[in-house]
Structures are given as structure tokens and as C-alpha cells.
Structure 1
């Protein structure tokens, strides 16, 4: 692998690792503080929810929380696929590692939350997270394939 490709793989790896760490650190935020964050976002988005006919604050909060799960893992899927695509194609190891990383991260995320006061680890959140990983992975793949995103 050329020096430039190694550097590109290192950048994708660093971004993937940093994003995973950020997700897990955020999972350690106690329940009341997490609820405060969600309430703040709901407050900001309330006019948009109203235009969409969603007026119940509980529903708004649920949507905000689940969309946050989906989007943070979509970005992780994007980054881990970028990492995989920057490594040599002949090796199955990079593919396996990126898949395991992207699938294990949500499971560990929800496990962390089991030990945080006021938080809960939910299987439904793992499924939402995995859906995000899939969309992020497919998005990165499509952009790379069309040449709209070059390996770093």
C-alpha cells in the first residue's frame, strides 16, 4: 500500500475511532442530563413538528431520541465503510473488522447505558442503530462508487 493510501486509511481509522468514542462518552451522560438535551432539541424543532401535525411532546421527544440514534450510527457506518474502502481489496480482514466494529458498537453502547443512572439499554435502540449503520455504509459506498467521494 502506498504512503498516501496508508495516510488515508489512518485518517478514516482516526475519524471512526473518535466518533465511536464520542458516542460512548455521550452514553455515559446520566438520564436527567440526557433528557435535558432532548428537551432542548424538541424545543428548537417544535415549530417543524407542529407543521408536520405532531403536537404531543412525548412523541416529539421519542422522534428526536430515535433520530439521534439513527444519525449517529449512520455517520459511524459511513466512516467505517470509508476505512474499509481505503484498505487493500484482496484482504477480507478489513471488511470483517469494519463490519464487526459497526455491529458491536451499538451493542456496547446500549450495554454502557445499563450502568448509567436514569438510562436504559434497549434492544430496539440497537436495531435502530444498526439501521443507521446500514444507511451510512450504503451512502458511503454509493458516493465512492460514483466518484463523488474519494478515499482520503
Structure 2
């Protein structure tokens, strides 16, 4: 455990970097492969949802995947920032900037792939995911800080 704390900055940067590579690797798939994957996931989920007389569209799956990927990125960016400082508010522009830069690059990359298109609406969905991940981390830190400070102040 001591080793982790000594190397957590490097490990968090590495984990975040590899997750960004994962995001870019998804964008490097051609339109057919990407469509097949989201079609498979849609079928699988619709089989389960049919038990409740519900269904979802492939479009929803694609947009939810965008949002989810970037929600995780937002969390990783905040955890990386947290490994460097406890003053998250002071340096919040760093995860916000990276969190906007990655989807812009990601959607631009898709313009070069056959059968794919980069969309401004996807950048907005992606950045919404990043913002949600950042907000979740922020709320967790606020809750955790208040809970631990109450425990320290409590005589029990």
C-alpha cells in the first residue's frame, strides 16, 4: 500500500492516459464495426428489457455510451487532480480543459474514419459526461470531508 501512495500521481496519469487511448480506439473503428457493436449491445439489452415490455434504440445506446465513457474520464481526471492537490477548486480548470479537449479531438478523429462522422452534438454529450464525473467527485469529496470532520469533532 505504501508503494501505491508513493507512486499514485504517476499511476493516475497513466490510468487516465490509457483510458483516453481506449476512447480514441473506439473512434478508430470504421462505421460498420462500430454499428455492429452498438447493434449487438442494443439487441442484448432489448432481450432483457422485453421482460418488462420495454425497448431502447441503437441511437440511445450510442449516446449513452458516449456519456458513460466521458463520465468515467471526468472521474479519472478529478482523481488524477486529487493525487496532486487537495485544493480541487483552485485547479478545476485543468480537468475541465482536458475534459473538453479530448472530445473535440475524438470527434475530429472520427472525421478521418470511413463511415464515421464527427458531430458537435456528440462533443456536447461527451463534455456533459465529463462535467457529471467531475461533479460526482466534487460531491463525494464534500460529503466525505464533512463526514470525517463530524467524526473528529464527535466525542464518541
Give the match for residue 121 of structure 1.
Answer: 118
* Cα displacement (A) at 1:7: 1.6
Matches within 5 A, 1:11-22: 11-22=11-22
Larger mean CA deviation between 103-112 and 7-16 belongs to 7-16
2:33 counterpart SS class: helix
* Cα displacement (A) at 1:12: 1.5
* Cα displacement (A) at 1:37: 0.1
Give the match for residue 98 of structure 1.
Answer: 95
1:28 aligns to 2:28 (yes or no)? yes
- RMSD over aligned Cα atoms: 2.4
Give the match for residue 46 of structure 1.
Answer: 46
Task: Note the residue ranges of structure 2 that are not aligned, 5 or more in a row.
Answer: 146-156
Deviations 1:73-109 (Å, cap 9, x if unpaired)?
0000000011112213569995433221111000000
2:105 counterpart SS class: helix
State TM-score, norm by structure 1: 0.82
Task: Note the residue ranges of structure 1 that are not aligned, 5 or more in a row.
Answer: none
Evaluate the alpha carbon distance shift between residue 93 and residue 29 of structure 1 in structure 2; reply closer, same or farther with a 3 A threshold: farther
Q: Which has the higher contact order (CA 8 A, sep 6+)?
A: 1
Deviations 1:91-129 (Å, cap 9, x if unpaired)?
999543322111100000000000000000000000000
